[in-house]
Structure 1
């Protein structure tokens, strides 16, 4: 069985109209869930948020804007730096808008992480045990 893939990065978080500030992003990939990536954002030892992302979508987000729901990704250039802009939409606010956070990640680091996940499970060779999947859904039901 292929092993888990992990990478921790310092990323830049921008919430609302604030300036960017550094937080840690812990990326992980488990071949047992081959289509998903997990990212946990933390600061000062506290977990700020945990998101599960589509692996293919993250790869596409390095090249072009993707996403129309709660997660939107797109490449951005800041001079010499190429970044992945990750926008996360949360619950509604009293003013009718939604909570929003934007995270900027060095694109080369994300690409390297994706290459590591592709070494664990090549794109197109992902397998899901349907019986286990259905049992999990039924247990949650």
Structure 2
């Protein structure tokens, strides 16, 4: 059985003053890191940002608002178009403000990706090899 799930989506980056512009997001899931989803945003072959997202939080964001820190998710609807609004807050700028990006993804595509991850590792069946990790850390010292 495959322990990886990958999906590339075209999402809309909200650009100040110009509206939305399309960018790619490469979503990745690895059963060896069962709680996380990687999201790599790219445009014209250049990586714009890379984030590690909590898989459960991503699922919850499809149903209602979640997050109070660097990542905030919530459903958004534009007529018949159901989207996932993702807000990302980055490093602090010299003026004290923070880098901030808003991205809209087609919610059914995100849900399909998450269903595929659940086929690899079902929710509640995640396992982190804590004993092996501690043994590795302690033996390195």
Q: TM-score, normalised by structure 1?
A: 0.91
Q: Which residue of 2 aligns with 1:113?
A: 113
Aligned to 1:94: 94
1:13 paired with 2:16, answer: no
Structure 1 segment 40-119 matched on structure 2, within 5 A: 40-119=40-119
SS at match of 2:19: coil
Number of aligned residue pairs: 141
Cα distance, 1:14 vs structure 2: 1.5
Alignment match, 2:4: 4
1:129 aligns with 2:129: yes
**Matches of 1:72 and 1:4, distance apart in 2:** 25
Name whichever of 91-100 and 52-61 sits farther off.
91-100
Q: Is the 8 A contact 1:41 1:49 kept in 2?
A: yes
Larger radius of gyration: 2
Cα distance in 2 for residues equivalent to 1:116 and 1:7: 10
**Long gaps (5+) in structure 2:** none
Unpaired runs of 5+ residues, structure 1, are none
Please give the root-mean-square deviation of Cα atoms over the aligned residues, in Å. Answer: 2.1
- The alignment's TM-score, normalised by the length of structure 2, stands at 0.91
